[in-house]
Structure 1
């Protein structure tokens, strides 16, 4: 899901639970969703960069010639 879809889903769920949302509440929701998605991207990038790159080594000849 995209950031905007998640924020809208949270806002709808809060309205359904009886909470009144004003502009400040919507801003907090958007910032929270944005921050959590950015943290997720940072974790994925760190995990991707922490992996060891594969180095192919030419195999030796079977008879050692």
Structure 2
């Protein structure tokens, strides 16, 4: 899996190569979006790797 910093650097470099210089606020947006996407990807991976949920009827209290 790619490192967060590598992805951020690639996005910033792609913007620079297309002729758009990013200011501080735009760089902050890139960092937060990349972090959010990677966190969502990790949550999805965790959900998909868990076992199947099997509901069991609760036992009545004594």
1:45 maps to what in 2? 46
RMSD of the TM alignment (CA)? 0.8
Deviation for aligned residue 1:29? 0.4
TM-score by length of 2: 0.77
**Structure 1 stretches of 4+ moved >2 Å:** none
The residue aligned with 1:10 is 11
CA distance in 2, matches of 1:21, 1:44: 32
Bigger-Rg structure (1/2): 1
TM-score, length of structure 1 as denominator length:
0.74
Aligned residues: 51
Q: Which runs of 5+ in 2 are unaligned?
A: 53-62
